[in-house]
Structures are given as C-alpha cells and as structure tokens.
C-alpha cells in the first residue's frame, strides 16, 4: 500500500509536463532511485536541475523542480558554510589593507589563521572549526543582514556547528595583522541579537530524539536551527557562477583574483590540498555522481559544490562541468534518511540509501546533459 501511495504522489507532484527531465530520471529503473520513489513520502526529497545551453547569443538557462517548497523545512547542516565562506571573503574585500591571506587570531586561540585557509578547509573536508571561526569573525547579525541584501530572504544562519553553546550571542575579540610591523586591525566586538524561532512545515520532525543520552518521546524542534532552503542554495550558486544573470545588488562583491581562487577551492579534492586520500577520498564531500565510490574523480570532471549531512538529512548543491563532453549543469537536492524517526541517535541510512541516491541522481543528470546538449 505504501509503495502504491508513493508512486501516486510521485506522478501527482511531477505533473503532466512531458518536458521536465526530472520525471524521466525519477522513473529510472536504477535501484538507488527506485527505492526512494517507491516510498517517496518518507524521504522528503526536493530536487532542482538547471540545464545550461550555449547559444549564439550566450548561455540559456532552463530550471526544473521537484517537490521544492521553501516552507517545508530541512536541516541544512554544512551547506550553510557556503554563503558564510563567501561573505567572509567579501568582508575582507571591503578593507583595502586586508586580503584573504591576512593572518588573524581569535581571543583564547593560540594559533593564527587566514580566511583563505579556512575556506580551503571548508570546501576540501567541510571543517567545522574553520566555519565556526568565520561565523565569529562576521557575527550572526552581519551574516543575516547580508544574506537578505543579496536576495536570500528565507535563509537564516543561527549558530555554529559541533560545539558547545553554538548560538551564544556574545563574540570573542578578533585581531587581523595586515603586516608584521603595521597596525593591528580589530573588528567591532558585538553581541548578536537572540535567535527568532522559525515557522513552517516540518519544523518539528520525527517521533523522538536523543538528549543527553536519553530518549525524549516527542518530535524534535528545529525552530532555532539554521535554515537554507534548497531554492536559495541553488540561487546562490547561480549568482556566484553566473552573476550577469542577476541584478548587481543581488550578489556578493569579491576581489576578482580572490573570487577566482575561491571558486577553484570549491572544486579542489582533499588529496590536492594535502589530506590523506584513504581517509579523505575524492568523493568525501562530493555526493553527486561519485558519492557511492572511493575511486578517484577524473580530472576533466569539475564539481563546484557544498554538501551537508546531519540529523539524517543529506543535501548537496553543485555546479558540474564535464570538460571532455563540453557540458555543464547545476543540480541541488536534499533527502531525509531516518527510518526509525528518532533524531540525534546517529542511526541514519546515509551509506545504504541516501548517498547512493544522490550519486545515481548525479549520474543520470550528467548523462541527460550529454544526451540532450543543444547543437545549433
């Protein structure tokens, strides 16, 4: 009965359009995809695909969606590191005496860092501490103000990741060192305003959660968590790589040389920046196409992306380029894999269901882009 309901919901949500490629791809006999479609309702899947065609007058973009609903909340996990990293680079760009290579230190932290190194670690291995430093550097209020200014109206960053008191309002003192002999640059040390609870569908999830080692038999409340709807993840990626497609005020302003470096960091593999390949294999932070394999990703495939996974939710937003086939496209997707509906118990079907689905999805859209590329 559940399988029949899942198939019925699938066709209703996809609609009758014969031109939406998501319909054909989700109708695939691929086991990793079919498993999801047969029980669609429980997985809270959302997908956005952008086809990019080269024409005589430039690039032509066609967007397709499946079950996308910004009011249907999902926990964004590490995908929030994407806008935070870019906003940190923009903040530095607004100060001529600073660059992303300028050393900085945070009060009670004995090791100096640079924005460039933090960003590199965020995209190579999704480092939480690097994100937390940038969060402290900018402050929650500044981050959310800029997010709204660049058009991400429904995105909200409320807290740091994997640390105690993640949403603390006060911030530690920060010092940047433009030169060894010059003056120290000290940003304003402010206290952020309190986090406002979110509203929307599925803001409470599941039938229980683990707190301090004990099971709490009620839905878990995500209203004070970060929010980064899939449509705004996709929009942000499009703004970054194709700024001429958005109004100038709806974009982050970076120094051209630093923007190029950061984009390169987004597709860099862990081994290319010195991480051990056995632990941090190529697909460690790249689920689309290669997530279900630990083999090396071919050099002609460039995946500019950010993934997130926590509380049973897997999400990825990516701009994918195949240099040999001469195709490129954008793909964003999220899926919840929490069969027992208990949150924070670390029992999720990431490896058995979630990542195989995203990998298969990426391969299907990659092949679709090749098979249907426009030839003028």
Residues 262-281: tens digit of each pLDDT: 999 999 999 999 999 999 99
| Nearby residues of 249 by Cβ (< 8 Å), 6 or more positions away | 149, 150
pLDDT digits (tens, 9 = 90+) for 278-331: 999 999 999 999 999 999 999 999 999 999 999 999 999 999 999 999 999 999
Q: CA–CA separation, 216 vs 357, rounded Å?
A: 30
Residue 6 has pLDDT above 70, yes or no: no
- pLDDT of 172 reads 80
- Any idea where the domains of the chain sit in the sequence? 2-371
Higher pLDDT, 219 or 169: 219
Q: What distances in angstroms separate CA 164 from CA 16, 160, 211, 257, 360, one per listed residue?
A: 49, 9, 14, 36, 36
Side-chain half-sphere exposure of 309, counting CA atoms within 13 A: 22
For 34, the enclosing helix (H) or strand (E) is helix 31-38
Band of residue 244 on the pLDDT scale cut at 50, 70, 90: confident
Radius of gyration of the chain (CA): 21
pLDDT average, residue stretch 215-243:
97
* pLDDT of amino acid 375: 65
Q: Find the mean pLDDT for residues 247-255.
A: 82
Residues 312, 250: Cα–Cα separation, whole Å: 32
Of the CATH numbers 3.30.310.80, 3.40.710.10, 3.30.413.10, 3.20.20.140, which one belongs to the domain with range 2-371?
Answer: 3.40.710.10
* Residue 2 clears pLDDT 90, i.e. is over it: no
Tell me the Ramachandran region of residue 212: left when phi exceeds 0, alpha when psi lies from -120 to 50, beta otherwise: left
Cα–Cα distances (Å) from 254 to 99, 103, 243, in that order, read 11, 19, 12
In 3-state terms, what secondary structure has residue 249?
A: coil
The answer to whether 153 touches 131, Cβ cutoff 8 Å, is: no
**Rounded to 10 degrees, what is the CA torsion of 102, 261, 48, 348?**
-60
Lowest mean pLDDT among 134-138, 179-183, 345-349: 179-183
């Amino acid at each position: 009965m559940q399988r029949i309901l899942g198939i019925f919901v699938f066709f209703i949500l996809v609609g009758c359009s014969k031109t939406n490629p998501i319909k054909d791809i989700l109708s695939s006999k691929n086991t990793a995809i079919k498993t999801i479609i047969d029980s669609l309702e429980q997985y809270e899947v959302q997908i956005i695909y952008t086809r990019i065609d080269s024409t005589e007058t430039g690039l032509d973009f066609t967007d397709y969606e499946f079950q996308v609903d910004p009011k249907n909340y999902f926990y964004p996990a590490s995908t929030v590191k994407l806008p935070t990293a870019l906003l940190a680079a923009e903040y530095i760009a607004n100060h001529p005496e600073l660059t992303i290579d300028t050393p900085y230190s945070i009060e009670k932290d004995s090791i100096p860092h640079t924005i460039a190194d933090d960003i590199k670690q965020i995209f190579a291995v999704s480092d939480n501490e690097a994100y937390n430093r940038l969060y402290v550097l900018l402050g929650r209020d500044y981050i959310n103000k800029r997010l709204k200014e660049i058009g991400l109206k429904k995105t909200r960053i409320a807290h740091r990741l994997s640390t105690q008191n993640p949403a603390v309002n006060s911030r530690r003192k920060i010092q940047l060192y433009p030169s060894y002999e010059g003056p120290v640059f000290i940003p304003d040390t402010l206290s952020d305003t309190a986090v406002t609870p979110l509203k929307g569908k599925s803001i409470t999830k599941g039938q229980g959660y683990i707190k301090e080692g004990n099971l709490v038999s009620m839905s878990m409340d995500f209203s004070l968590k970060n929010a980064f709807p899939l449509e705004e993840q996709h929009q942000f990626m499009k703004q970054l790589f194709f700024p001429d497609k958005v109004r100038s005020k709806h974009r982050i302003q970076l120094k051209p040389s630093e923007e190029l470096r950061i984009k390169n960091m987004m597709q860099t593999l862990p081994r290319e920046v010195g991480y051990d390949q056995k632990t941090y294999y190529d697909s460690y932070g790249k689920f689309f196409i290669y997530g279900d394999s630990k083999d090396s990703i071919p050099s002609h495939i460039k995946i500019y992306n950010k993934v997130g996974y926590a509380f049973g939710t897997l999400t990825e937003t990516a701009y994918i380029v195949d240099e040999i086939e001469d195709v490129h496209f954008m793909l964003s997707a999220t899926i919840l894999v929490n069969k027992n509906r208990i949150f924070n118990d670390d029992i999720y079907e990431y490896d058995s269901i979630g990542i195989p689905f995203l990998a298969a999805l990426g391969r299907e859209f990659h092949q679709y882009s090749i098979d249907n590329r426009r030839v003028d």
